[in-house]
A = this chain, B = another copy of it.
Amino acid sequence: MFCVVMAGGSGTRFWPRSRENKAKQYLKIFGKESLILSTIKRFEKIVGWDNIYIVSKSKQVEILKRHSGKVPESNMIFEPVGKNTAPCIGLAAIQLIKTDPNAVMIVTPSDHLVKNTRQFKKSMMAAAQLAEEENALVTIGIRPTRPSTGYGYIQINGDQRTIHGVHAFRVKTFAEKPNFETAQRFVESGDFFWNSGIFIFKASVILQAIEEHLPELHESLMQIRDAIQTDQYDAVLDRVYHQIRSVSIDYGVMELAKNVFMIRGDFTWNDLGSWDQVYKLSHQDSNANAVLGQAVLVDTKNSYISADRGVVAVIGMEDVVVVRDGDAVLVCPRKRSEQVKQIVERLKREKQNDYL
């Protein structure tokens, strides 16, 4: 049983804390350890250090090594460029299958928050059993607590089974990020779950599914596989990867495949999509302010304040985000913190590369 941590993302939602050379997964978003290291440690308890693989981008070699604990360097796979999740997972699968033809792989984003790790482990073990016994493609769904338009949804059919106390369902459909009204319907229906982006399957099974639904990608992966452990590997990987089409595993495979199950993840999960979400998950003081670093607050409530160094002073504000990091400062209402992307886009357009 292996874990594949996908860590290639860059992430602009946490600017100015996240930058081009410091992606979201490397942030100590709650002040203690980076999200990726938390993720790795969570899986270390399930598969052990040696069975954790990390797929990242060549650019991130150095920073990844500082945030990967005791994961062996030989378990780090670097994509020349990012091509979304299907190629990433395929690349990991061809590596794993060489190590162990019966490898079961848990594929996970590197930058999400999970609380209640014991329950999380139970879900993973049940998913792995299902993947192995049924040659199934398994996904982890989270019971929605609000009509979020920021997540993809998974619809189950009623047909439920239980594996060591964990609930599993056959998947009916995957739905892309909905608009608000659709999201409301989803939540009310009771048979839609948030797509956590965690997948569990045998390496051989996902490669078969890729062969069936994304034959071109499969062809490319086979070329790369043949070059593994030759001195041609880097050159082949580079050439082939640049030709591969970007496609997500959800859209390219899961939505089309037959034997798809969902495990209901009965643990606290959050994809940490904005400063507002971080605020809500952070420790708050008696004025409902979440403060990281040094701040002087006068008459200020319900706000997220963060300073990597120096001091941030706020007078008479409510429901705001103030983040000072390096050479940049962000100020915005909490509710608009998703619009941080607009700042990053503007900086890109204006070629203000120092701030990216």
A352 at the interface (CB under 8 A from B): yes
Instruction: Out of B298, B311, B339, B340, name the residue touching A329 (CB < 8 Å).
Output: B311
Q: Give the interface size class of chain A.
A: 35 or more
Q: How far is the CA of A207 from the CA of B330 in the complex (A)?
A: 54
Q: Smallest Cβ distance from A299 to chain B, in angstroms?
A: 8
- Option from B312, B343, B352 in Cβ contact (under 8 Å) with A331: B312
Binds B, one of A92-100, A238-246, A316-324: A316-324
Contact (Cβ within 8 A) B329 A315: no
By the criterion CB–CB under 8 Å, are A315 and B327 in contact? Answer: no
A343 in contact with B315 (CB, 8 Å): yes
Contact B329 A329 (CB under 8 A): yes
Choice from B310, B313, B346 contacting A326 with Cβ under 8 Å? B310
A309's partner among B298, B316, B327 (CB-CB below 8 A) is B327
| Known A-B contacts A298-B339, A309-B327, A324-B324; A332 and B314 likewise in contact (beta carbons under 8 Å) | yes
Known: A317-B333, A324-B329, A332-B316. A342 touches B310 (CB 8 A): no
CB distance from A191 to the nearest CB of B (A): 36
Nearest CB on B from A316, distance (A): 5
A325 → B minimal CB distance (Å): 10
Q: Does A256 contact B (CB under 8 A)?
A: no
A355 CA / B293 CA spacing, docked (Å): 14
Contacts A317-B333, A333-B316, A333-B317 given; does A310 touch B339 at CB 8 Å? no
With A316-B333, A336-B316, A339-B316 as contacts: A328 and B311 at CB distance below 8 Å: yes
A288 at the B interface (CB under 8 A): no
Contacts of A322 in B (CB 8 A): 329, 331
CA distance A169 to B326 in the complex (A): 56
A32 to chain B, nearest CB (A): 23
Chain B's nearest CB lies how many Å from the CB of A259? 45
30 contacts between A and B (CB under 8 A): A15-B313, A296-B346, A298-B339, A298-B342, A298-B343, A310-B329, A310-B355, A311-B355, A312-B328, A312-B331, A313-B328, A313-B329, A313-B332, A313-B340, A314-B332, A315-B331, A315-B332, A315-B339, A315-B342, A315-B343, A316-B332, A316-B333, A317-B320, A317-B331, A317-B332, A317-B333, A322-B329, A322-B331, A329-B329, A331-B331
Given contacts A298-B346, A311-B327, 16 further A-B contacts (CB under 8 A): A16-B313, A296-B346, A298-B339, A298-B343, A309-B327, A310-B355, A311-B347, A312-B329, A313-B332, A313-B343, A314-B332, A315-B330, A315-B332, A316-B336, A320-B331, A329-B329
